[in-house]
Structure 1
């Protein structure tokens, strides 16, 4: 779907479908429509869940008009309420309450190389920040441990609140990067309030790229 490619090499030609949509389930649903096929209510419901989860119920900046129209089509086929499904999905379990801090910062984690900087950004989605504040110190320790183990310049964890459509950003590592963050700091240190930020790819990464450019120019 909407992710960047790392130019992987293959020994043989492969069938590869890459489209800038909010969810892979949108790609699959569109293939059903293109082929003139109608999925069963059960399969339509599964694809609804994928689109709802990936696009945060169509609130993520990665959402496209096609995601919106496909979810409406699947809703009719599955005879299901997207809002009710969203509540079930996001209430099913909190990553921060069900996983250890070490596992939470390593779960949905992506490594990046920008210039001479190597860093990582992980993301978890929660309903509210109550579970986060209970383990914020442990998460910061786990981030620093992960950074040292992998030889990273800095590492981040984006904790996104599904309800308010905002996030908290935890950062450990390079002092220049941390000092360059213009968002409001929270207590304890290394935590920043990012209202309106929910997408790692479309919102956080451009911000971090700007910080890296600023740091490079000051060197």
Structure 2
């Protein structure tokens, strides 16, 4: 739709000057990031464990999407925002905020989309949001391992490593037949990567209900919240603002 090629996936940045966009945790960075010079950060998550040798430029805002910050930086620098770029940025904000429904959404996100949608030529915003969320929740053809990997983030916590993934769905029934396979993949990751916990949030974006799958040696800290082996989190859409903070409290 935007006719933009997918960028190259960079796994090595040694000797380069880089900006970190949408993360500040070393666990989410290339392994050789410590051999690069970090010039700046643009992010909307909590500050992670990245350390720098030199002072840097940092733009970290409590908004629903990093693209909202980028949009404002473009405006500050009077940089051109082309139609394809406006389409990508508005889509990113709408996806991250689940069509403005997420508790992470702010007025800055809404204002950014209002301007970007004009530049992108989006004439029916509600229709665009509906189509975007349909595409966002389409998991047809994906294996259990691919679903876990789809939006997986690593976190250092209490001296250990853990991962928390999220799959956004139109209904939890989409994964009913995959629960065993998903849990098996979480256990595999714990065994192979020596993780204290591997968790997966299965989120129904229409009801804000999340089923949490979890495996690992820290599982017993969460099991008390499960009923008949199922841990449901009501009114939970956001990993950043709801899921991860809850996990930190329970795992402490």
Specify if TM > 0.5: yes
Q: Distance in 2 between the 1:36 and 1:175 partners?
A: 50
| Structure 2, unaligned runs of 5 or more | 1-42
Q: Which structure carries more relative contact order (alpha carbon 8 Å, separation 6+)?
A: 1
Matches for 1:139-158 after TM superposition, within 5 Å: 139-158=182-201
Q: Structure 2 length as normaliser, TM-score?
A: 0.72
Q: Distance in 2 between the 1:8 and 1:42 partners?
A: 32
The aligned residue for residue 216 of structure 1 is none
Say which of 206, 216, 219 aligns to 2:245: 206
Superposed displacement of residue 14, structure 1? 4.9
Higher fraction of helix: 1
Superposed displacement of residue 175, structure 1? 4.3
Superposed displacement of residue 12, structure 1? 5.6
The alpha-carbon distance between structure 1 residues 178 and 7, as it changes in their structure 2 partners (threshold 3 A), is closer
The alpha-carbon distance between structure 1 residues 101 and 4, as it changes in their structure 2 partners (threshold 3 A), is same
Q: Mean Cα displacement is larger for which, 31-40 or 191-200? A: 31-40
Q: Structure 1 length as normaliser, TM-score?
A: 0.82
Q: Distance in 2 between the 1:93 and 1:34 partners?
A: 31
The aligned residue for residue 156 of structure 2 is 113
Superposed displacement of residue 115, structure 1? 1.8
Matches for 1:112-131 after TM superposition, within 5 Å: 112-131=155-174
The aligned residue for residue 32 of structure 1 is 74
Matches for 1:91-106 after TM superposition, within 5 Å: 91-92=134-135, 94=137, 96-106=139-149
Superposed displacement of residue 143, structure 1? 1.1
Say which of 216, 220, 223 aligns to 1:179: 223
The alpha-carbon distance between structure 1 residues 7 and 119, as it changes in their structure 2 partners (threshold 3 A), is closer
The aligned residue for residue 209 of structure 2 is 166
How many pairs are equivalent?
Answer: 208
Q: Mean Cα displacement is larger for which, 82-91 or 149-158? A: 82-91
Q: Distance in 2 between the 1:163 and 1:125 partners?
A: 10
